[in-house]
Amino acid sequence: MTLFEQILSARGLQGKARDIFLSPDYDARHDPFLLPDMGAAVDRLVTALQNQDRITIYGDYDIDGLTATTLLLDAFESFGFKNVEAFIPNRFVEGYGLTVDAIEKIAADGAQLIVTVDCGSLSHTEIARANELGVDVIVTDHHNVADTPPPAVATINPKRKDHAYPFIDLAGVGVAFKLVQALQTRLEGLPLGQEKWLLDLVALGTVCDVVTLVDENRANVYWGLKVLAQTRRPGLKALMAVAAVDADKVNARSLGFGLGPRMNAAGRLETAKHALEMLRASDGMQALEKAQLLDALNTARRSDQDKILKAAIIQAEQYKEDPVLVVSHPDWNHGIIGIVAAKLLERYKRPTYVLQEMGDESKGSARSYGDFSAADAIRAADDIITKGGGHKLAAGVTLPTKSIDAFRRRVNEFYRTQNLFNQEALLLPREEVALDLFVEVTEGLLDEIAQLEPFGNGNPEPILKINNALVINQRRMGAEAQHVKLELRDTAGHAMQFLAFSAPKEFFIEPGETVTVWFQPILNEWQGKRSVEGRILHLEIL
């Protein structure tokens, strides 16, 4: 059995399952009318088209919400809707999701129908206010839901308990795309098959929202990457150019690490409208200007993030014995602290809440891992917070600044009640195949592994392990010697290069040591030379 066949076997991909996975079938998509309230939503939109109602697409400031907003704007235009606008909340003004103030503003501007994307499932009060003002609401969302849906015309969410949909982990843009597919059965203007040109947006939002890349998500991203390679959108062409992403080689990693951070930077530092305008641009020069602005904002975001992280590490040292870290400061931009929370989790291997103190009120972001739910911990502090919620691994919270210490105690008490054991082990990589010899790790293997793309949550890049490798050379790289490259030799005398960027101190192994290494094979191209190297994920000295 070849190394690639061993990887497939470790993933349970054999026989028919292998064929389906390696060649995702877009036409095997699920019936959109299996989603709850889809019929009611389509009926209301058909009426809206007949009457040419004024419609507002209520989006969100992250990539999932931005791509979903753009997708519906494009599709509604194709269907013949004439009076459609977008409303993207500002993180620093309205905050996340529907707000009563925003609803009242939209109603005052004459909207008769609001269609939400990536939000709204828990907005009972806000939607009730819309109803009072004579505005109908259709919710399209994928976040957690209450037992009773809000008083909307329709609440389309695969996570509703009364759903009959075969796959519940769609991104917000995926749910919006299902609405478009449903509308195609009743409206003209977007013939069957032409909706595939929207898959570049679906792929971008799905990958960047870190939903599982299996089932319908895998098919949408697989084909969406092919659409992105020949996208008709000047904005995405310009963004790929400034991010140095080769359209012919675009993959999920390009979205998650190239395009995604630049789009998110707009909403983190200023307004996500910059990113929406880039996506919607029809003129090449305007698209390039917006893409360059996003690139500059991303550079500023990285600088601010580094400053916050350094300060957060100093504070975290005071609480590093706590099973859950809670740190806060007035100068930490709450548009960036979610990334900082992820960095602290990686460093301290603890669920982390990072908050910005904004006078009497503080806003924070949480990141977790393993069996600890960041959202459930927030719920356990309901009596001392203003609001909060999210997912198991990522959540947000708003609370009185004076309650931060009480919140810290409460989430740590909640952690202890969970009786969790050996959680740090869940952060360690798990190999799919153990090697004896480096000679098996070839360019041919990389070509085979590429068939498993797109990689992401639920479909990670394969991890290999080799035992008894001798360190024969170490080279430090970077302005602060923060990166390391190790040359290892296997038991048959074959050598291979391994590298780690921003490596932890335990990766700087001296020559002469024997190690076990968990790694991902990568192709290094430098000055016309190509070689297969390993990206170090974890190592242990024997």
pLDDT in tens, 75-95: 999 999 999 999 999 888 887
In angstroms, how far is the first alpha carbon of the chain from the final one? 28
Q: What is the mean pLDDT of residues 63-82?
A: 97
In the predicted structure, residue 423 carries a pLDDT above the cut 90: no
- Helix, strand and coil in the chain, % to nearest 5: 45, 20, 35
Do the Cβ atoms of 145 and 117 come closer than 8 Å?
A: no
Query: H or E segment at 337?
Result: helix 337-348
Residues 399 and 495 placed together within one structural domain of the fold:
no
Same domain flag for 448 and 417: no
Residue 459 and residue 331 share a domain = no
Q: Are residues 397 and 472 in the same domain?
A: no
Tens of pLDDT, residue by residue over 507-526, are 999 999 999 999 999 999 88
Is 68 among the domain residues? yes
Q: Is residue 522 part of a domain?
A: yes
Number of domains the chain is built from: 3
Per-residue pLDDT for 445 more than 90?
A: yes
pTM score, whole prediction:
0.92
Residue at 307 is within a domain = no
Is 29's pLDDT higher than 90? yes
Kindly state the average pLDDT of the residues 221-235: 96
CATH number of the domain that residue 87 is part of: 3.90.1640.30
User: Which residues form the domain of 158?
Assistant: 29-198
Q: Is the pLDDT of residue 450 over 90?
A: yes
CATH number at residue 453: 2.40.50.460
Same domain, yes or no: 52 and 194: yes
Per residue in 80-102, is it b (16+ CB within 10 Å) or e — as a string? ebebbebbbbebbebbbbbbeeb
Q: Does any domain span residue 4?
A: no
Q: How many CA atoms lie within 13 A of 379 on its CB side?
A: 9
User: Model confidence over 326-373: pLDDT tens digits?
Assistant: 999 999 998 999 999 999 999 999 999 999 999 999 999 999 999 999
Q: How high is the pLDDT of residue 72?
A: 98
Same domain, 391 and 506: no
Give the per-residue pLDDT at 280: 97
Domain end point (choices 170, 198, 226)? 198
Within a domain: 422: yes
Percent of all residues in the chain with a pLDDT value above 90, rounded to a whole number: 89
pLDDT of residue 461: 94
Check whether residue 416 and residue 469 sit in a common domain: no
Residue 405 belongs to domain with CATH number:
3.10.310.30
Instruction: Tell whether 160 and 47 lie within a shared domain.
Output: yes
Percent of the chain whose pLDDT exceeds 70: 100
What is the predicted pLDDT for the residue at 13? 93
Does 153 have pLDDT greater than 90? yes
Q: Is 141 part of a structural domain of the chain?
A: yes
Residue pair 390/363 in contact (Cβ under 8 Å)? The answer is: no
- 460 cis-preceded (ω within 30 degrees of 0): no
Of the three residues 409, 426, 443, the one that is the final residue of a domain is: 426
Do 45 and 102 share a structural domain?
yes
In a domain, 2, yes or no: no
**Residue 391 pLDDT:** 79
User: Average per-residue pLDDT in the chain?
Assistant: 95
Nearest to 297 by CA among 269, 278, 275: 269
- For residue 200, the model assigns a pLDDT of 98
Domain boundary (426, 450, 482) is at 426
> In this structure, is residue 315 part of a structural domain?
no
Does 411 lie in the same domain as 449? Answer: no
